[in-house]
Amino acid sequence: MKSVLGIVGGSGLYDLPGFENSHWETIESPWGTPSDAVRIGEIDGLRVAFLPRHGRGHVHGPSDINYRANIDVLKRAGVTDLVSVSAVGSLKEAYAPGTFVLVDQFIDRTFAREKSFFGKGCVAHVSVAEPVSPKLLELVEAACQDEALSYHKGGTYLAMEGPQFSSVAESHLYRQWGCDVIGMTNMPEAKLAREAEMSYCTVAMVTDYDSWHPGHGSVDIADIIRVLGENVDHARRLVLNLAKRFPREHTPCPIGSNTALEYAIMTAPAKRDPDLVAKLDAVAGRVLNRA
């Protein structure tokens, strides 16, 4: 099975250099309209699919993104491994603006989003105890090292609903919980990627210290945009390096990301809603089609 590297780009990262034979492809999804068309091409011979999470021109807010459609169209594009590149605030003194945090855990505090492909008529329960694929994380870390980027491996991402930034009290609360960074977009994205049997990894690009830092003050949009521009340049280098070193043959995820649905679907075949099963053709076809 050939590897296909998927990149979901967040704020500021609407395009990637280095694509060969690339084109924007509109992929329809039974889950609705995705954020944008998918740019599909090759980097050094590796097939890559890029989706701008907020759409080109930043037209979708974090709660308006159709996360299910986004993951579904990437699955239809053949993506085996998905890297999320996302702007975040830092909840730790050590993670200054400009630092990349290679997240390995999440706390989901979102409440206004569809969080599963499954439901009444086809119930499934997947494990997200370890939401990030360690093999994919190691490849991203190696690319960071090659590009001499400031990064930290490991950390907990607090996903808030938004679109407003945190109050000071909220920011201090999340620090007490031991969170490292805060953002608005990686949940339910990571959960849906697991349901779609993709390996998933987050590159969290720190733009600010959120609102807790006494010397930083409230979040300043002008400062965020300035740092974001610098981070995006670094992120492009990271993605190009990652694509060049990425294994061309897909190998099984050591924590079973690529087989997450093996025993997850609980609804008996005779009781499954045929309309929902039809919508699950890309996400769960590997399992449903053999039942």
Please write the tens of the pLDDT for every residue from 108-160.
999 999 999 999 999 999 999 999 999 999 999 999 999 999 999 999 999 99
Q: How far apart are CA 57 and CA 212, in angstroms?
A: 30
- Which amino acids are annotated as binding site for substrate, given as ranges? 184, 208-210
Which domains, from first to last, does the chain contain? 86-288 (3.40.50.1580)
Of 168 and 11, more confident = 168
Among 284, 242, 258, residue whose Cα is nearest residue 48:
242
pTM of the entire predicted model: 0.95
Q: What is the pLDDT of residues 246-275, one digit of tens each?
A: 999 999 999 999 999 999 999 999 999 999
- Which amino acids are annotated as binding site, given as ranges? 11, 53-54, 86-87, 184-185, 208-210
Q: What is the 3-state secondary structure (H, E, C) of 157-197?
A: EEECCCCCCCCHHHHHHHHHCCCCEEECCCCCHHHHHHHCC
How far separated are the first and last CA of the chain, in Å rounded?
A: 22
Residue 115 makes CB contacts below 8 A (sequence gap 6+) with: 108, 187, 188, 191, 192
- Report the catalytic residues: 208, 210
Q: How far apart are CA 165 and CA 121, in angstroms?
A: 37
Q: How far apart are CA 196 and CA 9, in angstroms?
A: 19
